Structure formats: structure tokens, C-alpha cells
Amino acid sequence: PQQPPGRSSRKARAYAAEIRRLQGLGYSLQAIREALAEAGVVVSKSTVQREAARAIAHLSSRTGADVTALGFSAQASDASRMRNG
């Protein structure tokens, strides 16, 4: 497959790794959203939060790592846990 798994209509999906990296550096969801908009990807702050949570959940499931120890916000990992039950 040429695209990662999931819905192909998710505009921010291609930027998930960058969203995760920026969040790990301490950038706010709003700042990340604004950077995406400058790159031509206009999404809501909720979309950025969702993609960050998915990226963190994916990282955690692949590595078994405690994502909070990696410097990622608890807010994104909490959102992932709430969604996944």
C-alpha cells in the first residue's frame, strides 16, 4: 500500500510523526495547528489533538514504552485511553 492504514481522507495523517515530534518538544496544539495551516493543511485543534493521540498510542503499542517518560503530554495519551476504553 502507498498510504498508511486508516481513512485516506484524514488530512493531518501524513503529518502524524511531525505532530508527535513537535508536541514532544513542548509546542501547543494550537501552535502545531498554525504550522500545519502555513503548510496548507487547514485542520481544527481537535484534529491535531486526535492525530497526536493516535501517534502516541501507535508509538506506545509498538514499543511498549511509557509515552509520558518520552516527554509527551498526558493530555494526548489520556484522550487516547478514553477513546480506546
pTM (2 d.p.): 0.61
Q: What is the pLDDT of residues 38-78, one digit of tens each?
A: 998 899 999 999 988 887 777 677 666 554 444 444 444 44
pLDDT one-digit tens code per residue, 6-43: 666 678 888 888 998 999 899 999 999 999 999 988 99
User: Which of 27-52 are b and which e, b meaning 16 or more Cβ less than 10 Å from the residue's Cβ?
Assistant: eebeebbebbeeeeeebeeebbbbbb
Which pLDDT score, from 0 to 100, does residue 15 have?
Answer: 87
Alpha-carbon distance 73 to 85, whole Å?
Answer: 19
Smallest CA-to-CA distance from 78 within 70, 68, 69 is with 68
